[in-house]
């Protein structure tokens, strides 16, 4: 089962239209508490951005510090070269709260492509989802509908 299929089923079976990001994050925390899966969930409530990391039964705000919203990004995984590249070459030159959507998309693509080119075992398609206070849309998404496609993840 592909992740797209899993999340479609999960949303259909566990999420109601009036749920908030807080409610959904709690459902995911409980659902994945005994699994090694890590999920980053992003959304808005009353115009305020929320970003959660959910793993091992724990839920943590990624964009809050001292009850204030912070803008930024986090490079995750076991990709030492990419983390170092981000911390030394990119992060010092960016004001995250001032990025346009287009600049954010470019940054995401560049970091993912850097990881694909420089990290062992890293590869695949680039999928980018744009989340705004009033809309959600795929900017770039691989087509996995053809089960014989070379786009299928390994």
21, 53, 70: which is the final residue of a domain?
Answer: 70
Query: Of all residues in the chain, what percent carry a pLDDT higher than 70?
Result: 85
Taking the C-alpha atoms of residue 146 and residue 26, their distance in angstroms, rounded to an integer, is: 34
CB atoms within 10 A of CB 33: 14
Identify whether residues 31 and 82 lie together within a single domain: no
Full residue range of the structural domain in which residue 36 is found: 1-70
> What single-letter DSSP state applies at residue 88?
I
How many structural domains does the chain have? 2
pTM over 0.75: no
* Structure confidence at residue 152 (pLDDT): 42
- Residues 6 or more apart in contact with residue 99 via CB below 8 angstroms: 107
pLDDT average, residue stretch 121-140: 78
Q: Is the pLDDT of residue 90 over 80?
A: yes
* Structure confidence at residue 75 (pLDDT): 67
CB 29 within 8 A of CB 57: yes
For residue 95 the two structure tokens come to: 């004001």
Q: What is the pLDDT of residues 14-28, one digit of tens each?
A: 888 888 888 888 888
Query: Of all residues in the chain, what percent carry a pLDDT higher than 90?
Result: 0
């Amino acid at each position: 089962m592909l992740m797209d299929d899993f999340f479609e089923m999960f949303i259909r079976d566990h999420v109601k239209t009036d749920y908030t990001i807080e409610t959904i994050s709690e459902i995911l925390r409980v659902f994945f508490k005994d699994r090694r899966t890590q999920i980053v969930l992003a959304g808005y409530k009353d115009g305020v951005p929320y970003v959660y990391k959910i793993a091992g039964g724990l839920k943590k705000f990624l964009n809050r510090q001292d009850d204030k919203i912070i803008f930024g990004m986090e490079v995750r995984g076991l990709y030492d070269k990419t983390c170092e590249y981000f911390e030394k070459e990119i992060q010092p030159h960016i004001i995250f709260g001032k990025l346009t959507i287009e600049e954010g998309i470019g940054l995401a693509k560049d970091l993912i492509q850097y990881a694909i080119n420089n990290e062992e075992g890293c590869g695949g398609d680039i999928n980018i989802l744009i989340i705004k206070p009033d809309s959600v849309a795929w900017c770039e998404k691989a087509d996995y509908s053809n089960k014989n496609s070379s786009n299928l993840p390994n």
